[in-house]
Structure 1
């Protein structure tokens, strides 16, 4: 089973020793995305709703670069700065999974990069 790095300009460039995603066999493991505009590299302005929309757009770009869709995502983890944002994030996140929703964990964390409110990572199956 080989591994393949997935990279796209449609999502923020990796700024450390990690890949936007790695394909291993029939699985795609995608790194956490935060609400950075891929063109400017800056955190999007607006509240948690706007941040969540950008995170999902970034994840969508990575999935597309791998030839996959949201319907093929099997597991995600959502990291929130404030669990009080759960309902707002969940409403936007849910729009991307109208069929079978992925297995998921949601946790509140002490901090996220650049002080953002949300980060999402996960696994997709492309077999």
Structure 2
């Protein structure tokens, strides 16, 4: 069984590759002073970097799960998301209590790779 792990620490790996599929852990913004749209844009930039490392682009995103601290920010998140995504994947968005009070959004991806 060949499993690759990227950006690993004591608790998690940011990306795990098994076969032709990559699984991203929940990504959050580093600058948590930004609003939901700003945090979403930063997360999507992180996703771009991981996609580039894997040798694929946004069209390879199979699914995304999005957690929002406040579902009232749905339109703010979608403003950044819609500007970013080319081929919409399967997606779910829910309101959730997130790990730290200044995290407004967290996104997890599943990606097809060659």
Tell me, yes or no, whether TM beats 0.5. Answer: yes
What aligned pairs does 1:1-127 form with structure 2 within 5 A after superposition? 1-7=1-7, 16-36=10-30, 43-98=31-86, 100-127=87-114
Equivalent pair of 2:65/2:108 in contact (CA under 8 Å)? yes
Residue by residue, what CA displacement relative to the aligned partner does 1:22-58 show, whole Å, maximum 9, x if unpaired? 110000001111011xxxxxx3433112111111111
Equivalent pair of 2:69/2:104 in contact (CA under 8 Å)? yes
Tell me, what secondary structure is at the counterpart of 2:55? Answer: coil
Partner Cα separation in structure 2 for residue 95 and residue 16 of structure 1? 34
Residue by residue, what CA displacement relative to the aligned partner does 1:53-93 show, whole Å, maximum 9, x if unpaired? 11111111112122221110000000000000101101211
When you count strand as a share of all residues, which structure comes out higher? 2
Tell me, what secondary structure is at the counterpart of 1:113? Answer: coil
Aligned residue-pair number: 114
- TM-score by length of structure 2 reads 0.89
Residue 115 (structure 1) shift: 2.4
Partner Cα separation in structure 1 for residue 42 and residue 10 of structure 2? 20
Can you give the 5+ residue segments of structure 1 that lack an aligned partner in the other structure?
8-13, 37-42
Tell me, what secondary structure is at the counterpart of 1:20? Answer: strand
